[in-house]
Every structure is written in structure tokens, then in C-alpha cells.
Structure 1
């Protein structure tokens, strides 16, 4: 077997506004999907929540884009979830359903069950991933695409600064209480993110400039969760607006 390179294939795309970002992100996602379907017959993507991906979700659900992707060959997972029901306003699954999935012929998706006991929900989701990827107890799934965001504190997914999740190396999915948010969360772990073929961050707003600058400095010793997202063999893509890039 060929040894895996530790080099990072990093690219940064700066656009005037979130609408232009969404267009760029859609083209990147579509290219990754085309390659995955051609090589493996399926495209496996994990989505994040928050406000930043909404323009992308809406674009993909719009008429111009809805016919471009083979939705029957795409399987959706989630990077993280709030421990609420699917109809709750804060549900990451609910957001994706309202803004995109309900408008498309999507048939393959596996949501994190935030309405269940967090420990049980994390275990169930890990079991679901292992079954879908057909991997053993010591293997890490290789997603085709991770759609990520970053908070102004440097968190990504539901991996927050100083979280035990930063040290997790065996589990695929963990539950944790996040003191900063006074809430329980479910999240994929760093080994899963870093085994992906592509991790794409979407970042908007001048308040993200400081954390963006720190995270993009690959020579800096990682301290923030987003800095630890460095795919071992894959692409690391940042699509940002001018406000985040310049701080103005």
C-alpha cells in the first residue's frame, strides 16, 4: 500500500459577498460529487448548521442547480447536532431540511437524533456510520466531503476550545456538554474530519477575521479546534467573504 502523504492541499477563495461564496462553493461541491460518483458510485457528504451555509443550501435547491446534481447518488450525514428535536428551530438537520432537502429529490440521509439521550444518540450515529461505510470497530470512515464553519472562538462542528473532543482518537461520534452554550451537543470527531477527501470551510463576517488569520497560518502551533482540521490525504478549502478576509 502506498504511504499517505502528510502534505496539506490548501486553497483559499475570497469573494465579495455570501452569494458569490455560495456560487463558488456549489461548483467545488459539484466537482467533488462528480468525481466521487464516477469512482465509487456515491457521494457521501456531512453538513454543518448555523447561518453561514444557508445561501449555499438555497442555491443548491434553486432551479438552476437542482438539476445539476445526481441527488439519488448523494448520501447526507451531519457533522454535528444540537440535542433538540428535528422540528426545533436550532436543529441543524431541521435547517438543512427547510432550506434545501425538502425541495430536492433526496432519499438518502442519516440525521443525528438530537431528541434522544445524548449518549445513546452518539452511539447510534456511530453505529449508523460504520454500517453505511461497512467498516470495522477500529476503522475510520472516509467521507467525500465535509462542509464546515468556524466560530469566532475557533470552534468547528461542536468541537470547542479546551473540549475533551480535541483529544478523542478512537470514537467517531461523541456527546458532550458545552459549558459555553449551556447545552448538550453531538459531533463527529477530528479523526473523522481529517480522514475526509475534502473539508470545505465557509466563513463570513469581519468578526471572523482574527480567527481566520490564525487558522490559516499553518506554521502556527494549533490551539483552536479549526486549526486541527488538516486532512491527512485530502483537500482543505476555505471559501470566505471579503469582510472575513480583511476585517473591514
Structure 2
């Protein structure tokens, strides 16, 4: 049965610091054990704050950048130069400022179609995992939308049922076409951390926690379509980093 380990903090800034500290400790231990660490990151408020923290002198020197491989959980199908592109935001806050060897693999959204970008990124993800001699992601950092979506897996989306591909195009999400990792890949990840901050997320978080309790004995495949996407994952332990505003009443 999956267990939810909930870390509560007063503010969003406290959440970002806690995740930064945990990230340093986790990646250090993972590299010690397996020589590399493959991390899938998402966009959003807390990841952006995390990137800014990791770019400070205090944290930059603690991270073994050369042995971490960064992938993107999902991406909006807009060019890397677009401010709405998740990689664009991450590059501004972290990856464009690192003066050392760092492995990062953004979704190729500058050319072609969203379907072509998804197909290319699926190959990229498999290549990175093979190069690190791994079959699963070591760590996935996820957020939660106010509608209960995670990654770019939205309620009632046709891609929720995807079983054959680990990365797909999303054309029925919000605002943009997107590329996203799918549940077959996310559910196989060794570790999953959610970061959820702000009172706008409180209702969705409460519903997700309730559904995770109600469907605790169900497989992730059986949960799809019966719960919000944020309640699907079934790792032995799923960690939640939340602030007081988001966790009010939970």
C-alpha cells in the first residue's frame, strides 16, 4: 500500500528551501550508490524557486552537477526562447548560469510538430536512462494544478490511458499543446516528490489526499479515470512538500 509522507511548512519559501536541502542529500546519496542520478523536473512556482536556490553559492557547491542528468516531466510546445517555456524559465534561473559540466535535456520544441517533439523526447529519455544503465527515473519532481492535474496529465485527457509510450503529445490540455511523460514512466520512478503551495491548490490537494486514501488498495491502472491525475501514482512512498495555505484542513 502506498504511503503519503507529508512535509508541511509555513510558507512557499520554506517549502523551496526544504526541497533544495532534500535534493542535495538525495542526489549525493544516489550518486554514491549508482554513480549517477536521473532527475525529471517540472515547471511551476516552486521548481522556479528551487532553481534559484540551487543557483546560489550556498547550494551550488554542494551539488555534484556532473553526475546528475536532468529531464523535463512536461513542456509547453512553445520555443525555448518563449517565457512560457518551462526550460526557458529553468535556464534563466539555473542552467544558464552553471559554470560547470551539467547534463540537461530539454524537450525539442523549437521546430516541427508537437507529435514529432514527443517522439524525439521519448527516444532522448530512453537514451539517457540507457547511458546511465538504469531502467527507471531516480527522482521525479511534480506539482499539482488547481484542477488536480500533474505533469501535463489533465483530468479526462485522452493521454491518461496511454500504455505504449512513455512520452506523448497532449493536445487536449490547457492553453498550449504540450509534451508529457506518461503514467507508465512516472509510476516506475524510484522516488516521487510533489510540491504544492498556495491556497488556490488547497481544494485540489484535499481531494487528491482523500482519493489516495479511498483508492489505496487499487493499482495505478485501476485508478485512472476514477481519481484525479495527482492521485494516480502508487510508489511505496510518495513525498509531499506543502505550505500551510495549500494544506489547510488536511
C-alpha distance in structure 2 between counterparts of 1:95 and 1:36, whole Å: 26
**3-state SS, counterpart of residue 177 of structure 2:** strand
Report whether the alignment pairs 1:111 with 2:106.
yes
Aligned to 1:212, which of 196, 205, 212? 205
C-alpha distance in structure 1 between counterparts of 2:139 and 2:165, whole Å: 19
Aligned residue number for residue 4 of structure 1: none
Aligned residue number for residue 65 of structure 2: 71
**3-state SS, counterpart of residue 223 of structure 1:** coil
The one-character-per-residue Cα deviations of 1:32-78 (angstroms, maximum 9, x if unpaired) are: 21221011101110110122322211111111111001001111100
Give, in angstroms, the shift of residue 31 of structure 1. Answer: 2.1
Aligned to 1:198, which of 191, 195, 199? 191
Structure 1 unaligned residues grouped into runs of 5+: 1-6
Give, in angstroms, the shift of residue 230 of structure 1. Answer: 2.3
The one-character-per-residue Cα deviations of 1:136-177 (angstroms, maximum 9, x if unpaired) are: xxxx94111111101000011111000112111120100021
The one-character-per-residue Cα deviations of 1:182-201 (angstroms, maximum 9, x if unpaired) are: x2100000111111111111
Give, in angstroms, the shift of residue 106 of structure 1. Answer: 4.5
Structure 2 unaligned residues grouped into runs of 5+: 216-225
**3-state SS, counterpart of residue 68 of structure 1:** coil
Work out whether residues 16 and 46 of structure 2, in 8 Å CA contact, stay in contact via their aligned partners in 1: no
Aligned to 1:226, which of 219, 230, 238? 230
Instruction: For 1:46-195, list aligned pairs within 5 A.
Output: 46-104=40-98, 105-116=100-111, 117-134=113-130, 141-181=135-175, 183-195=176-188
Give the TM-score normalised by structure 1. 0.89
Give the TM-score normalised by structure 2. 0.89
Q: How many residues are paired up?
A: 235
CA RMSD of aligned residues (A): 1.8
Work out whether residues 123 and 173 of structure 1, in 8 Å CA contact, stay in contact via their aligned partners in 2: yes
**CA separation of 1:25/1:177 partners in 2, compared to 1, >3 Å: closer, same or farther?**
same
C-alpha distance in structure 2 between counterparts of 1:205 and 1:178, whole Å: 26
C-alpha distance in structure 1 between counterparts of 2:81 and 2:45, whole Å: 17
Give, in angstroms, the shift of residue 214 of structure 1. Answer: 1.4
Report whether the alignment pairs 1:43 with 2:37.
yes
Work out whether residues 22 and 56 of structure 1, in 8 Å CA contact, stay in contact via their aligned partners in 2: yes
